[in-house]
Every structure is written in C-alpha cells, then in structure tokens.
Chain A
Amino acid sequence: MEDGLDIIDVNSWVGSWPFDYHREDTAARLDSLLASEGISLAYVSTPEASLNPDYVEANRRLIRRVRRYDRFRPVPVLDPTIGGWREALSDYCEGGITAVRIIPGYHDYRCTCAEAAALVDAVEAAGMALIVQVRMADERTHHRLCQIPAAPAGDIVELAGRHPGLPIVAMCTYFHEAVKIAASATNVSFDISHIERMRTLPSLLESVPAERVLFGSHAPFLTLLSAKMKLAAPGISEADRRCIASENARRIFGAEERERA
C-alpha cells in the first residue's frame, strides 16, 4: 500500500450502545483513534438514534459533540415512521450536511414502504446521499429478547431501482449481499466493514466495481485496524485502493464541503 494513502472512514459512530461497551464511544476518543490510524475524515452517526425514538435529539447531540473536530462529518439518522424528519432534513440540508442514514431494521419498517419512499424522495430532492444501515451487529449475537432483522438485500435493490439517480450506500452488508445488490443496482455502493472472505478485496472486485466500494470501519463496534488491514492487503491495484480509500467517498459525499450544522 502506498505511504500516506488518504483514507476516509464512511462508517463510524459516536455515542453509547446498550449491548456492548466501546472504549471509543466519545468524539474525543474516536478522534484520537482515527488520528492514530491515519484516517483523515470520518462520516459519523450516533448509535443512540437507532433505539431512541427521539432521533432528532440524538442527532442534535451528535452534531454538538463532533462540532469541534475537523475530522468528523456528521451523518444524521432519520426515521420515516416518526414525524419530524422533514423539518430535520431541511435543517441538515441548510447546514451543509451531504448524507443521511436510515436504519430500517431498528426502526421497524421496510425500506420499500410508503413512509420510506416519502423520505427517500425528499433526500433525493435535497441532493443528498442516502445511507441504508443494513445491520448494526451480527444477527447471531443480538440480545435474545432484542432480535433485530437485517434490511433485506432485495429491498435495497428495489429502492435503488425506484431512485436510479440517488447515490445509496448499503452499510454493513455481508459479501454475498453486496454481490447480489451490485448485480442489480448500479447506484448502490458498499462499505467494507462487514464484507469478508479469504482475500476480501480481490474477491469482491471480481463482482463489484472498485468505484462502488468504500472504506468503512464500523468503529468503534469493530476494530479499525481490521478494516485498514483489509484495505492494505495485496491483490488489488493501487488505483483501485485509492478509489476505495477515499476517492469514492469524496465523489459520493462531497467530502470537500465542511459541514457545520
């Protein structure tokens, strides 16, 4: 891997999570980790918005926490089944935010439903990118009384087909899900946090173009170094590695913009 490769993490989180302790659950500690691993920018949401119905307040707290760190770009979470998202989306757009995230499984809807369609229409009209959080954690490891389904790959294909001009990032897909979605939807990209197979990236690029693969760590849920080692492993061209490390993120999220919501 080239020395000094610019890396943008499109999938990181600040905040507490009820099922695990994460040392880097504050903006300061996550920023320190990202700095130590050479991550120049990080698109960050709060996991608190996945379970707390007041997602607007969760986003407000996130934005307040990360504001003083140049490394962070906040990605608010919206829930189309609870009112308030239109006003929030408008505020985020005015504040220069370039992407929002939906978490269909945790918010108990399908991303093909009517409520989601209205939100996605509005996101597209606002010129933003849409992140679909497929899962937060391996379904086998959930709390026994809190089993949350992953967003089905077929739903994302259908959503992408309805919005061919909307850049969608399917976050935390497994290898086979990414391959399935990529085969049918050209406007969906994938982060690498949960994509794994022996020689992950050379294997993935046999089915998914490098232009649709993004560096995402899912830190602090997952070990940031693991995502970096996936990116650094041999078997892909340096041009593809640069695409995955940062160039695709800049294209999709407009990373040159400094959001100050």
Chain B
Amino acid sequence: MTGQPIFDIHAHTRCSRPESDDEIVVAGREAGVTRINLLGDVLAFGFFPTAEQVRAINDGTKRSLDRYPDVFTGFCFVNPENPEAFSIAEIEQRLQEDGFRGVKLESCVVARDKRLDPIMETAERLGVPVLHHAWYNIAGSSGKESTPADIADLASRFPGVQIIMAHLGGARVRGVQDIKPYPNLHIDTSGSQPMTELVEYAVSELGPERVLYGSDVPGRDYAPQIGRVAGARVSDAVKEMILYGNGARLVGL
C-alpha cells in the first residue's frame, strides 16, 4: 500500500489455531507488510499463565515461525510470576534453539516489580530487546497493567536493554513524556484507533529512531494502522524508519 517494506513489530497468532498463521500472512501480504513480529497468544490462558501455559504459548509462536520463516520473527513470552529458573531457561531455549529474537512481557506483574530483574538481565546478557505492554487506561485496567511511567522505571533500571513500549495510542502525550528521558526506550504505534497528531508528537519528542510501527493484529487491522503512519505529517524518510528500519534494527533483521 505504501510501496515500501513494512515490518510489524506487534502481532499475535493464536496458539490453538494454526490457521491464524495463514490468516495473518494473507492479511499482511494484502497490506504490503513484508515481515511480522509475533509476540505470542499472550492472553490465551488469561492474564496469569502457568509455566506450562507459557510454554504452550511459545510453542504456538514456534509453530508460526516454522511455517513462515521468511515472514515471521518471534519474541518469547514469559510471566515473571513463574519460577525464575523456568523463565530464564525458557528464554534461553527459545532464543538459542528456536530462533526467537526478543522477550515479550504483558500484564502479569507491573514493570516496577523486581521479579522482572532476572528476565531483564537475561535479555541484556543475550543482547535482545524486550517488548512490554503499557497503557494509561482510565476505564480500568485488566490484569496488572503497567503504565508508561512503570516502563520508564524499568528502562532506568536496565539502561543496557533496548525496550519497546507497546501502544502509543494508549500512552499518548503523557506516556511519551514519561519515556522521553530514556534513550533505550522505544514506542510502537499500536493502540486504539488511528488518532491524529500522535505519531508526529512521538517523532518530535523522542526522535524518529525511537518510533516503531506496530499493528496489534488480529484485534486490529493492517490498513488503518499503517494509515496512522502513512498519513502522519512526517517526511517519507521518517515514515520508512517507523515502518521498517527501526524495528528491523532492533530485532536484527
């Protein structure tokens, strides 16, 4: 649609539905999305999955990677509530043996929780990024949802880890300001409707290299989520960075 390569840093396939791999690949192809980063079916078992359930979620991502290795990259999902040894072993196995390229954290604990520390230390040791859910949600959070201020705290504790905070649409102006002081903290453009002005604001405040395109499919759609970037009043060079270059650099494509 935009005539350039597009890398979606934020997508989910369904671990119980292999056909969801095909659906996302087809929808992405229709929209001109060339590479898709899978974060796992992180809510398949609710907000607080057991170790066994975490493994099932990552098995689902592995299945997707095996089926479409030229399209998908994947992050390893962990729940910091689970035993530390399990989480570290899971990350090491998925990254070193299964080809995963990063770590995904959702809403199992807030990002200030010290149980994240061994996970972050593992990501730092392996040199991979961490993508963390966040939202300023005044309608009531589900699970133990982190705010952008919580993610900023995490970034300050681990300046050597590249962190991608999900959901510019949930962070908005306050969230962008929260993360601005931390150069290791990036933001993806997903979240809510394609609100105007936000991409421009994030680029202006964070610099274009810290903004990454993300869709959050299949709950969202490629076309309107690409449109929020393609329709932003930033240069074509900046759009290229957001839509592909920044994500590709962090994930190591």
Q: Which residues of A contact B (CB under 8 A)?
A: 20-24, 137-144, 147, 193-194, 196-200, 218-230, 232-235
Contacts and interface: CB of A to CB of B under 8 A. Distances in A.
Given A198-B27, A226-B228, A23 B135 contact: no
A22 B138 contact: no
B223 to A, nearest CB: 4
B172 to A, nearest CB: 6
Given A226-B231, A229-B1, A234 B197 contact: no
Given A138-B193, A226-B228, A232 B223 contact: yes
A140 B139 contact: yes
Nearest to A139: B139
A222 B194 contact: yes
Nearest to B219: A197
A119 to B, nearest CB: 28
Contacts of A235: 30
Given A21-B197, A233-B31, A200 B223 contact: yes
B111 interface: no
A233 B136 CA distance: 31
Contacts of A21: 197
5 contacts: A24-B196, A140-B192, A223-B194, A223-B227, A233-B30
A196 B231 contact: no
Contact of B193 (A142, A194, A228, A234): A194
Contacts of A227: 224, 227
B10 to A, nearest CB: 13
A229 B227 CA distance: 7
B172 A141 contact: yes
A53 to B, nearest CB: 24
B224 A141 contact: no
B220 interface: yes
Nearest to B173: A20
Given A197-B219, A226-B227, A227-B224, 20 more contacts: A21-B197, A138-B192, A141-B136, A141-B169, A141-B195, A142-B138, A196-B193, A198-B219, A198-B220, A198-B221, A200-B221, A200-B224, A222-B194, A222-B196, A226-B194, A229-B1, A230-B227, A232-B223, A233-B30, A234-B30
4 A-B pairs with the lowest CB-CB distances in the bound complex, closest first: A226-B227, A225-B231, A226-B224, A229-B223
Contacts, number: 112
Which of the listed residues B23, B194, B220 has the most CB atoms from chain A within 10 Å of its own CB? Answer: B194
**Chain B: interface size category:** 35 or more
B151 interface: no
Interface string B150-177: 0000000000000000000110100000
Contacts of A225: 227, 230-231
A218 B31 CA distance: 22
Contacts of B197: 20-23
A196 B221 contact: yes
B82 to A, nearest CB: 28
A198 B218 contact: yes
B30 A226 contact: no
B30 A220 contact: no
B30 A230 contact: no
B48 to A, nearest CB: 21
Given A141-B170, A198-B221, A200-B223, A20 B195 contact: yes
A174 to B, nearest CB: 10
Interface string B224-253: 111110111100000000000000000000
Which of the listed residues A139, A199, A218, A229 has the most CB atoms from chain B within 10 Å of its own CB? Answer: A229
Interface string B166-209: 00011010000000000000000000111111000000000000
A238 to B, nearest CB: 16
Nearest to B230: A225
B167 to A, nearest CB: 10
B222 interface: yes
B137 interface: yes
B217 interface: yes
Given A140-B139, A223-B231, A199 B194 contact: no
B224 A196 contact: yes
A12 to B, nearest CB: 12
B232 A223 contact: yes
B226 A229 contact: yes
B217 A198 contact: yes
Contacts of B220: 196-198
Nearest to B226: A229
